[in-house]
Structure 1
Amino acid sequence: MEDNVPLERLARRLEEVVGELRGLPVDVERLEDSSAVRQRIAAAAREARELRAMHPVGSPDTGRQEQRSRREVLDALERGVTMRTIVHASVLDDPHKAARIRQLHAAGDLHRVVDEPIQQVLVFNRAVAFLRLTPVAYAPGALVIRQQSLVSALIDLFERTWAAARDVTEPAHRLTAREREVLALIAEGRSNGAVARELSITEAAVGKHVAGVFAKLEIPASADVNRRVLAVLAYLRGAVR
């Protein structure tokens, strides 16, 4: 949990810096029109060698638009573009979006997952960044940032978030933050009582979280296996990066 504090501070400072620079003669352009934003992003993507992306929600595109977007990403990977993407865990609740993310991850657009709120950001080639004007899903408009101090701050935010995130293939990606805390303590050999004391919650609450872990990791009750051991093994396989 401590890792989130520097991220929150950096995000707040980034917002403060952007606010201070608005209206000043720096290389930050405000685009209100979503079609203009898409055109600029497409132009940057054609020249890209490297892309860092953070998405708080999945793409709203469906049907042909979604297929075209996926094809563009796959074509970029074939050209040798390095791509890393951070998504909010809620995106994986949609089976269609989850399948798309895993396909792109397997193709080379590496994905990691976070539970904390994130803002939509794209950074191309360490040279230009696109930052959504307001942190609301599908809100129109973006800041086009070429000011190197701000681009560097966005890259720093991305890298810190990436380091704290978990791989999209991690088995425990569907667990809540509290469930992962409980599972991490179980992995240390703690009993339910010890977990309850550590987290300052009741032992009954720990039992509910443990049951949730078993259900989400699809570990059925059986006389032949120890479900706590299987849950810990799944956690360790996903957590060791």
Structure 2
Amino acid sequence: MGELRGIPVDVERVDDDALVRQRIAEVVPAAGELRAMHPWGAVDKRSDEHKSRRAVLDALERGMRMRTIIHMSVMDDPRKAARIRQLHASGDLHRIVDEPIQQVLIFDRAVAFLRMTPFAYAPGTLVIRQQSLLTALIDLFERTWDRAREVDEPTHRLSAREREVLALIAEGRSNSAVARALSITEAAVGKHVASVFAKLELPETPDDNRRVLAVLAYLRGTVR
């Protein structure tokens, strides 16, 4: 508990990871809701990962509501991706973001555990019970959740040049304008655009505008 210009601030720094885990374990049994954000995913030790998964499933079985936001890099590991999908199907709803996020656990509106650096499992955690700070963290979580994509939404991989082309199309540029911006031929742009459509599985139909659909996929973050 600190003080800021005479105002009590209920924030404690804990550097001992074992003590942080103990504090979290003390909160979990009485908590009804968990909001979580993880920058790089779960611990690498399989035994620890199994214990973590079992703890989540046990909490879900007793009725805890869980939502988790993860960084897209987690899904690059097939084992971690499978674990995420299992938890998602069990009720720990997951969404994915591309931008950097902090590691934080928010239990109800009572307490938050916030890593002091934006790296998973880095030392130093803030235990926050100050209501104004909790409200700010919850607001950050909800805004991040709203713009995140579903964990089972497919992600399409484009080449660096294809991403450049699509980014310029998203700015409203024509093929000729894209060609000038990238110093390539318009024919080359056409080939890149056709490749983007193929990778995004956007067939030519009289009812759909493929350029618009490709831009929407780009803006949703399902293109990498």
TM-score band by shorter chain is 0.7 to 0.9
* Rg larger for: 2
What secondary structure is seen at the aligned counterpart in 2 of 1:172? coil
Cα deviation 1:149-192 (Å, max 9, x = unaligned): 00000000000000111111111276799849939x68xxx975
Deviates most, 130-139 or 94-103: 130-139
Go from structure 1 to structure 2 and tell me whether the alpha carbon gap of 1:118 and 1:133 turns closer, same or farther (over 3 Å shift): same
Counterpart selection for 2:166 from 182, 187, 191: 182
8 Å contact from structure 1 (residues 166, 173) kept in 2? no
Counterpart selection for 2:56 from 62, 65, 73: 73
2:58 equivalent to 1:110: no
What secondary structure is seen at the aligned counterpart in 1 of 2:26? helix
What secondary structure is seen at the aligned counterpart in 1 of 2:136? helix
Alignment match, 1:6: none
> When the two structures are superposed, what TM-score results if normalisation uses the length of structure 1?
0.70
Once residues 104 and 128 of structure 1 are traced to their aligned partners in structure 2, the CA distance between those partners, rounded to angstroms, is 23
Higher helix proportion? 1
What 5-or-longer segments of structure 1 have no aligned partner?
1-19, 220-224
Shift of 1:56: 0.3
8 Å contact from structure 2 (residues 32, 108) kept in 1? yes
Go from structure 1 to structure 2 and tell me whether the alpha carbon gap of 1:226 and 1:157 turns closer, same or farther (over 3 Å shift): same
2:2 equivalent to 1:26: no
What secondary structure is seen at the aligned counterpart in 2 of 1:171? coil
Identity of counterpart residues, as a percentage? 60
Once residues 22 and 72 of structure 1 are traced to their aligned partners in structure 2, the CA distance between those partners, rounded to angstroms, is 41
Go from structure 1 to structure 2 and tell me whether the alpha carbon gap of 1:214 and 1:65 turns closer, same or farther (over 3 Å shift): farther
Q: Which amino acid aligns with 2:49?
A: E
> When the two structures are superposed, what TM-score results if normalisation uses the length of structure 2?
0.75
Counterpart selection for 1:89 from 72, 84, 89: 72
Cα deviation 1:14-55 (Å, max 9, x = unaligned): xxxxxx959974211110111111111111112211000000
Shift of 1:206: 8.0
Question: Residues 1-241 of structure 1: matches in 2 within 5 Å?
Answer: 21=4, 25-172=8-155, 179=163, 182=166, 192=175, 196=178, 204=188, 208=192, 211=195, 214=198, 232=213
What 5-or-longer segments of structure 2 have no aligned partner?
none
